[in-house]
Structure formats: structure tokens, C-alpha cells
């Protein structure tokens, strides 16, 4: 295996391009069934990250990033994984504008994103709220909830990787005022997506195949509900390429779900479930991953090569993961012209 990784790693390094030296969750919760595939994904957004800058709050609220970091530090590993997923789910719907945090409000957003099927299992809201309250006490009306979500995603990455993933996150986002549950399924990649659909959904956000494979490594932490993968990945499915022994273990863990009891959860990475590392890619290669969307990375020559590179070089993957997180953090950001700085992350500001 090591020799194969080395050879393939050498062959596809060119796919990845130069790596810059920056200072460097969990289950989908779709339940049973398959959402209607998006046949016409939205067009790529305009230039990502326009107006964002590193150290944005240095002269506005100097302690903002430290406050968020301490709030994330206090969370357990599962919640940290949830914060990473929260950032992803925020940016893929309406852009990185904290729209995923908005609670049901009959006056503005009666059916917000958090009520969308893929978001029902999101975690970490209480960490964002705690960070926001602490920041508001220090610097009222200055720090956006969108930036807090982005900082929390960065900090969760650092803590879960033991500090190995350590990148700077530009800031300056404003908070959105629109949040629609019916926009979640068309925009968030489902666990049963094939590689063609994955590429298209990431491309619609201005993210390329390298970004997509790098960010897939987030599946090395967190847990998933059995209902997110059992119907198409476990026996009696005859289309799954999952390792039979691994499938049997999962089937036993999910047994009560099949009997109509609680929807069990299992770890996404059976080897290092609380570490954000490149073990995920080795699991993909050995056919010991939960989702069809994970297994799909072996079905295309370019994604297969990138998987082997990530499995071979943890450092290279860590750098690419940090770059992809920053790039994702620039998707369709709001400005003062179409956003606001919310006083409370769960509600738009009222006059």
C-alpha cells in the first residue's frame, strides 16, 4: 500500500499545483429517501471573498478572534466537529452569511434553513451564541455572526488536528437577512451523490475538484445517523462496494434503527474518529467509508489521484484543506449593501 501511495502521489502532484505556506461534522441527517436531484445548479458566484481581509477586527474589536477561539476550545470534540459542518452548511446556502443560524420568525423567515432536512442534525449553535454574547459585551454591534461562524470553523479545525491545521481566516462578512429551508436540498451535496454531481455542486460555489476532495476530509471527524447511509450502502444493497466486514459491523450498530427504534449514530472515521487527519482518505481507499459520496471519489481518475495524494501526504492535505476552507469562506459574502451586523445571531435586527 505504501509503495502504491508513493507512486500515485508522485504522478498526481501536478494536479494539485503549488501549495502556499499559510500560517495555518458529522452526519448529514437526510434520513431515509432521496431528495430530488438538482438538474440546474445555480451559476458560479461572483469573485469570492471580495472585501475580506485578515485582521479585519484588529482596530475594531481586537479581542474578537480570541473570544471565539476560547468558546470553541471549551466545546467537546463532537461539538467542534459540528462547528466545522455548520460553517460548510452556512456557506453552501445563501453564501457565508450566518443564514443557517436564523430561527423561525413569522415576520421574516418562517421556514429558515435550520428546518431544512440536511440541517436538522446540525450542532454547535450554543457555541456561536456564547461567542456572540461575549463579543457583544466587549464590542457591541461590530462583529458579524457570519465571521464568528467562519472563525469557529477555523478554530475547530485547529483543535481537532492538534494544531496541525492552522490557517488565517479573512473577515469582514455581513450577516444575511434571508433564510429558506427549501434552498438546503438543492445546494447541499447529499450523501448519495456521485462524483459528477459533487463536482457540479462545488463548482456552483466557485470551488474546484481539488477543493472538493480536500474538504471531504472533514468526514474524518464527527458522527452520522444510520439513516443517512444504511439504505444504499448496507445489505441487502447490491450496489455498494463497502468492505463486507466493515458493512457487517455497521449493520450491527444500526440494527435498532432498522427495527424502528432510535436512528443510531456511528463515527464517520472508525480509526481516528476525533482527529481531523488524512485517515479518511485511507478509509476511502480501503472501502471503509459511510457514504456513497465518499466512495464516489474513487470513480473518477482525477479525484482518485487526489485521494491517493492526500492519503500519502498528510501535510499536503492539511495545507490544501486550509486553503479550501478560506476559499469556501469567501462564497457569496454579504456587505453593508445587502447585509447587517445582527445583534443576536438567531434573529434579524428589528427597527
**131-139 contact pairs (CB < 8 A, 24+):** 131/67, 131/68, 131/71, 131/72, 132/344, 132/345, 134/67, 134/71, 135/61, 135/64, 135/67, 135/68, 136/343, 138/61, 138/63, 138/64, 138/67, 139/57, 139/60, 139/61, 139/63, 139/64
**Phi, psi dihedral angles at 192 (to 5 degrees):** -105, 10
Among 165, 131, 102, which Cα is nearest to 347's?
102
Residue pair 143/341 in contact by the 8 Å Cβ criterion:
yes
**Phi, psi dihedral angles at 236 (to 5 degrees):** -90, 20
In a domain, 43, yes or no: no
- How many CB atoms are located within 10 Å of the residue 78 CB? 18
pLDDT classification of 107: cutoffs 50, 70, 90: confident
Q: How many domains, in total, are found in the chain? A: 1
pLDDT (0 to 100) of residue 7? 45
Q: For the residues 143-163, what does the mean pLDDT come to?
A: 98
Q: What percent of the chain has pLDDT over 70?
A: 84
pLDDT classification of 23: cutoffs 50, 70, 90: very low
Which pTM was predicted?
A: 0.88
Q: How far apart are CA 220 and CA 264, in angstroms?
A: 18
pLDDT (0 to 100) of residue 257? 52
The enclosing domain of 297 has a CATH number of 1.10.420.10
Average pLDDT, the chain: 88
How confident is the model over 208-226, as pLDDT tens digits? 999 999 999 999 999 999 9
99 is in an annotated binding site: yes
Active site residues: 89
70 is in an annotated binding site: no
Please check the confidence at residue 128 and state whether its pLDDT lies above 50.
yes
In a domain, 38, yes or no: no
How confident is the model over 37-67, as pLDDT tens digits? 343 444 444 445 668 999 999 999 999 999 9
323 is in an annotated binding site: no
Q: For the residues 188-212, what does the mean pLDDT come to?
A: 97
In a domain, 193, yes or no: yes
pLDDT classification of 351: cutoffs 50, 70, 90: confident
Q: What is the DSSP string of 38-52?
A: PSSPPPPPSSTTTT-
pLDDT (0 to 100) of residue 22? 33
In a domain, 144, yes or no: yes
Q: For the residues 195-219, what does the mean pLDDT come to?
A: 98
Strand partners for 267: 223
In a domain, 251, yes or no: yes
63 is in an annotated binding site: no
Q: For the residues 92-117, what does the mean pLDDT come to?
A: 95
In a domain, 1, yes or no: no
225 is in an annotated binding site: no
What are the DSSP E strand ranges found in the chain? Answer: 223-225, 265-267
Q: What percent of the chain has pLDDT over 90?
A: 79
Residue pair 266/272 in contact by the 8 Å Cβ criterion:
no
In a domain, 249, yes or no: yes
Pick the range with the lowest mean pLDDT from 19-23, 61-65, 197-201. Answer: 19-23
How confident is the model over 284-339, as pLDDT tens digits? 999 999 999 999 999 999 999 999 999 999 999 999 999 999 999 999 999 999 99
- First-to-last C-alpha distance (Å) of the chain: 62
Torsion of CA 85, 172, 95, 109, to 10 degrees: 90
pLDDT classification of 13: cutoffs 50, 70, 90: very low
How confident is the model over 223-282, as pLDDT tens digits? 999 999 999 999 988 789 999 999 999 999 998 655 555 689 999 999 999 999 999 999
State the Cα angle at 87 between 86 and 92, rounded to 5°.
100
329 is in an annotated binding site: no
Please check the confidence at residue 36 and state whether its pLDDT lies above 50.
no
In a domain, 160, yes or no: yes
243 is in an annotated binding site: no
Domain that holds residue 217: 63-255+263-329
Q: For the residues 170-193, what does the mean pLDDT come to?
A: 97
Amino acid at each position: 500500500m505504501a509503495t502504491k501511495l508513493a507512486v500515485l502521489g508522485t504522478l498526481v502532484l501536478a494536479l494539485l499545483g503549488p501549495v502556499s505556506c499559510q500560517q495555518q461534522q458529522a452526519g448529514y441527517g437526510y434520513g431515509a429517501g432521496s431528495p430530488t436531484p438538482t438538474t440546474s445548479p445555480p451559476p458560479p458566484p461572483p469573485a469570492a471573498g471580495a472585501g475580506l481581509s485578515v485582521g479585519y477586527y484588529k482596530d475594531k474589536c481586537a479581542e474578537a478572534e480570541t473570544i471565539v477561539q476560547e468558546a470553541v476550545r471549551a466545546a467537546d470534540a463532537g461539538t467542534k466537529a459540528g462547528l466545522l459542518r455548520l460553517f460548510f452548511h452556512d456557506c453552501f446556502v445563501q453564501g457565508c452569511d450566518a443564514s443557517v443560524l436564523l430561527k423561525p420568525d413569522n415576520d421574516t423567515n418562517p421556514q429558515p434553513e435550520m428546518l431544512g432536512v440536511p440541517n436538522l442534525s446540525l450542532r454547535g449553535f450554543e457555541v456561536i451564541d456564547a461567542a456572540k454574547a461575549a463579543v457583544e459585551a466587549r464590542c457591541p454591534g461590530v462583529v458579524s455572526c457570519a465571521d464568528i461562524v467562519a472563525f469557529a470553523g477555523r478554530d475547530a479545525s485547529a483543535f481537532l488536528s492538534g494544531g496541525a491545521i492552522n490557517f488565517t481566516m479573512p473577515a469582514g462578512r455581513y450577516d444575511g437577512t434571508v433564510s429558506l429551508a427549501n434552498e438546503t436540498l438543492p445546494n447541499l451535496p447529499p450523501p448519495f451523490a456521485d462524483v459528477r454531481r459533487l463536482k457540479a455542486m462545488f463548482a456552483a460555489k466557485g470551488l474546484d475538484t481539488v477543493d472538493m476532495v480536500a474538504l471531504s476530509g472533514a468526514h474524518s471527524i464527527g458522527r452520522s445517523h444510520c439513516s443517512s447511509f444504511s439504505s444504499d450502502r448496507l445489505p441487502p444493497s447490491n450496489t455498494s462496494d463497502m468492505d463486507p466486514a466493515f458493512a457487517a459491523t455497521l449493520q450491527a450498530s444500526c440494527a435498532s434503527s432498522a427495527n424502528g427504534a432510535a436512528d443510531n449514530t456511528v463515527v464517520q472515521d472508525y480509526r481516528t474518529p476525533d482527529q481531523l487527519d488524512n485517515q479518511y482518505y485511507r478509509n476511502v481507499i480501503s472501502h471503509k467509508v459511510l457514504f456513497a459520496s465518499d466512495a464516489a471519489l474513487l470513480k473518477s481518475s482525477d479525484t482518485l489521484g487526489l485521494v491517493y495524494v492526500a492519503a500519502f501526504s498528510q501535510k499536503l492535505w492539511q495545507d490544501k484543506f486550509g486553503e479550501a476552507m478560506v476559499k469556501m469562506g469567501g462564497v457569496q459574502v454579504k456587505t453593508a449593501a445587502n447585509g447587517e451586523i445582527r445583534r443576536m445571531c438567531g434573529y434579524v435586527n428589528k427597527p
